[in-house]
Amino acid sequence: MRTRPHTLAIGAAASLVAALAVALPQSAQAADTSPVGFGAGTTGGGNATPVTVTTLAAFKTAVTGSSAKVVKVNGLLSLSGQVDIGSNTTVLGVGSASGFTGGGLRIKEATNVVVRNLNISKPLAPADGITVQESTKVWIDHNSFSADRSHDKDYYDGLLDVTHASDNVTVSWNTFKDHFKGSLVGHSDNNAGEDTGHLKVTYHHNHFSNVYSRIPSLRFGTGHFYDNYVQGADTAVHSRMGAQMLVENNVFASTKVAVTTSRSSDVDGYANLRGNELGGAAIEISRQGSFTTPPYAYTAEPASSVVASVTSGAGAGKL
């Protein structure tokens, strides 16, 4: 969470500076040192001695296993498909231009994983930019996801998908740009037996720009979507198959439908809205939800300051 600059009159007292810092929303004060939301408590590799890699082969070796590890990626690495990330791992991009293109990362049957400060671009189907499957305690923070919309919608896969009963995930301060299918939570209408009671995900302070839909699309689970900035979407937040969504203090611009609970599935979802700036976008709420109080501490800054916070603080290179 990043501080926005303030101009104070010459000679202003130190006490006034302190008062302003206290008055700022929690989300605007500093870059997060730990996740807020359902992913709270995720530490990744913690204080393990970092290992820096510059090749894909070295990266694949470095992220295997469940021992505590911090792996720094230096450079933009091309790959096909996905690389599996072991438990108790932090993957951290070096600078503002490191990461992966052509494929992505898979967190499968793992726990306690942090992914930060990466550029992840053009994940060719069937590879997502990041896939989280059968995993718990995951923090996806300050990454830049992108593709293009000059190809068919199925040419690339999802930028960030959370599936197969994964739980306790926080997605914060990322940018998602130029894509059709943004972030899918719950892969199928037919997976209730595995997913019901799971798929708890928090999205906050993310910037979705020219992403057509799935911002996010959530089945069966519980989602908290707050302080995000959505530009140029056809359908943004989509709650379906009985999912519960709290949509709070977001800004929607040039968006057709900000929130829907009644599309594309036989069973509608649920949603509660508060404090959003819809910018003329429609809402399609067929069922109001019961999820109004998240089970964790957080402070949602008002929608009036979200655009400034997110455009200055989200994405790789902003830590």
The answer, yes or no, to whether residue 206 has pLDDT greater than 90, is yes
The answer, yes or no, to whether residue 13 has pLDDT greater than 90, is no
Predicted local confidence at residue 31, as pLDDT: 75
Instruction: Residue 35: count other Cβ atoms within 10 Å of its Cβ.
Output: 26
Chain segment 89-135, per-residue pLDDT in tens? 999 999 999 999 999 999 999 999 999 999 999 999 999 999 999 99
Chain segment 278-289, per-residue pLDDT in tens? 999 999 999 999
Predicted local confidence at residue 80, as pLDDT: 95
Predicted local confidence at residue 2, as pLDDT: 39
Predicted local confidence at residue 6, as pLDDT: 37
% of the chain exceeding 70 in pLDDT: 91
Instruction: Return the exposure string of 234-267: e unless at least 16 CB atoms fall within 10 Å of the residue's CB, then b.
Output: ebbbbbbbbbbbbbbbbbbbebebbbbbebebee
Predicted local confidence at residue 171, as pLDDT: 98
Report how far residue 114's alpha carbon sits from residue 88's, in angstroms, rounded to the nearest whole number: 8
Higher pLDDT, 231 or 9: 231
Q: Counting Cβ atoms within 10 Å, is residue 42 exposed (0-12), middle (13-18) or buried (19+)? A: buried
Predicted local confidence at residue 66, as pLDDT: 98
Higher pLDDT, 85 or 25: 85
Domain extents in the chain = 31-313
The most confident of the ranges 3-12, 17-26, 27-36, 305-314 is 305-314
The mean per-residue pLDDT over the stretch 129-148 comes to 97
The answer, yes or no, to whether residue 4 has pLDDT greater than 70, is no
The answer, yes or no, to whether residue 71 has pLDDT greater than 50, is yes
Catalytic positions, written as ranges? 214
The mean per-residue pLDDT over the stretch 188-212 comes to 97
Predicted local confidence at residue 29, as pLDDT: 41
Q: Counting Cβ atoms within 10 Å, is residue 19 exposed (0-12), middle (13-18) or buried (19+)? A: exposed
Predicted local confidence at residue 46, as pLDDT: 98
At the top level of CATH, the class of 31-313 is: mainly beta
Chain segment 159-176, per-residue pLDDT in tens? 999 999 999 999 999 999
Predicted local confidence at residue 16, as pLDDT: 31
Predicted local confidence at residue 30, as pLDDT: 53
Predicted local confidence at residue 256, as pLDDT: 98
